[in-house]
């Protein structure tokens, strides 16, 4: 396959590009490098440093490169920023997302895999979260992802777009080559490791939640397991694949949770990180962070069933260990 990966210079995108190249596919990365890193794009992929939101230019690129399928990883993805500046999220995620879908339609690209998020569910009534859990996002980030998922579904029915939307839970870990570098960094595991490096003190956002140890529980999934799922999802969009539409029937838009299926508390993460780095990690307890639901854990049964996928690197030690090893090799992130 010839695959366009938007956001292929970002964290999830770059590890997915590695996986696609390994499987023998040709990869074109479309990334404006606003949050991505040129050095994250493997040598085997062709980087086009531009925005996916320019419909005409993207349609030309799809035609010129004879692209068969799109993996759309690019997006704005910070919950707090989305609340402070929703316009940016609607413009980049929704307006940009529709421009990309339109470019695909113009260029006749009928296969699409979309990076969605567990944030589409909001605060669920029950755990684990299945794909039938109502979608009630509580921030513009989740809302804009849901809006693009909705558009994709209608494109399936009307224009025959075959697609899989993948609702990521908490992505963690690193490949040999690529890891997580965000500025600002808001995520737990990078913040724990920064504290281990002596750069900051970790703040635990609340210990009074209705959970066994009082801290929030999340479902962490290794970025390499996510990359495996992307490859399988792209395969499921093949023109003759009944998973995205039987012959003679309208195309189908699939939505699948990608999580480990297991929950870990903030303290579980801290303790596992202390085992990985072999020393105590400085931390303090702070107040709750606004908008954090107590427990978010995926049911991954549908992804297992439909894609034949299973998370293979499912211990916190593997995820944190790979992130730690990567940070030790990249003391300044992607800067040389």
Please, which residue, 9 or 192, has the CB nearer to ligand UDP? Answer: 192
Active site residue 89: no
How far apart, in whole angstroms, are the C-alpha atoms of residue 212 and residue 23?
42
Please, which residue, 194 or 302, has the CB nearer to ligand UDP? Answer: 194
Q: Which residue's Cβ has the minimum distance to ligand UDP?
A: 216
Let me know: does 46 contact 28? Beta carbons within 8 Å.
yes
Please, which residue, 146 or 218, has the CB nearer to ligand UDP? Answer: 218
Which residues does 329 contact at the CB level (< 8 Å), separation at least 6?
Answer: none
Please, which residue, 47 or 298, has the CB nearer to ligand UDP? Answer: 298
Task: Quote the least distance from Cβ 136 to ligand UDP, whole Å.
Answer: 16
Let me know: does 263 contact 294? Beta carbons within 8 Å.
no
Q: Which of 89, 121, 141, 220 is catalytic?
A: 141
CA angle centred on 87, ends 85 and 89, rounded to 5°: 85
Which residues does 109 contact at the CB level (< 8 Å), separation at least 6?
Answer: 4, 62, 67, 68, 69, 70
Which residues does 154 contact at the CB level (< 8 Å), separation at least 6?
Answer: none
Task: Quote the least distance from Cβ 24 to ligand UDP, whole Å.
Answer: 33
Task: Quote the least distance from Cβ 223 to ligand UDP, whole Å.
Answer: 13
C-alpha of 137 from chain center: 16
Residues within the interface to ligand UDP (CB under 6 A): 170, 186-188, 191, 202-205, 216, 218, 266, 289, 292
* DSSP E strand stretches across 219-323: 220-222, 253-258, 264-265, 283-286, 295-296
Task: Quote the least distance from Cβ 260 to ligand UDP, whole Å.
Answer: 13
Residues assigned a catalytic role: 141
């Amino acid at each position: 396959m010839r695959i366009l990966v938007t956001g292929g210079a970002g964290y999830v995108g770059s590890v997915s590009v590695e996986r696609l190249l390994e499987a023998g596919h040709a990869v074109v990365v479309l990334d404006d490098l606003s949050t991505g890193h040129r050095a994250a794009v493997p040598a085997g992929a062709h980087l086009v440093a531009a925005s996916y939101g320019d419909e005409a230019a993207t349609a030309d690129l799809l035609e010129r490169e004879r692209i068969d399928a799109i993996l759309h990883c690019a997006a704005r993805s910070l919950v707090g920023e989305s609340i402070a500046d929703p316009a940016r999220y609607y413009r980049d995620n929704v307006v940009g997302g529709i421009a990309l879908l339109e470019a695909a339609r113009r260029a006749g690209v009928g296969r699409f895999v979309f990076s969605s998020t567990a944030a589409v569910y909001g605060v669920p009534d029950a755990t684990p979260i299945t794909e039938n859990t109502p979608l009630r996002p509580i921030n513009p980030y989740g809302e804009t992802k849901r809006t693009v998922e909705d558009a994709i579904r209608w494109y399936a029915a009307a224009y025959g777009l075959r697609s899989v939307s993948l609702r990521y839970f908490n992505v963690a870990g690193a490949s040999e080559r690529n890891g997580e570098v965000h500025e600002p960094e808001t995520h737990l595991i990078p913040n724990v490791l920064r504290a281990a490096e002596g750069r900051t003190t970790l703040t635990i956002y609340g210990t009074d939640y209705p959970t066994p140890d009082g801290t929030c529980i999340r479902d962490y999934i290794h970025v390499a397991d996510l990359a495996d799922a992307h490859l399988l999802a792209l395969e499921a969009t093949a023109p003759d694949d009944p998973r995205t539409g039987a012959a003679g029937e309208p195309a189908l838009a699939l939505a699948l949770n990608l999580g480990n299926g297991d929950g870990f508390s903030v303290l579980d993460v801290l303790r596992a990180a202390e085992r990985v780095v072999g020393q105590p990690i400085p931390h303090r307890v702070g107040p709750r962070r606004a908008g954090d639901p107590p427990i978010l854990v995926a049911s991954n049964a549908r992804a297992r069933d439909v894609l034949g996928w299973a998370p293979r690197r499912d211990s916190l030690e593997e995820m944190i260990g790979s992130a730690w090893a990567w940070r030790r090799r990249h003391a300044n992130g992607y800067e040389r």
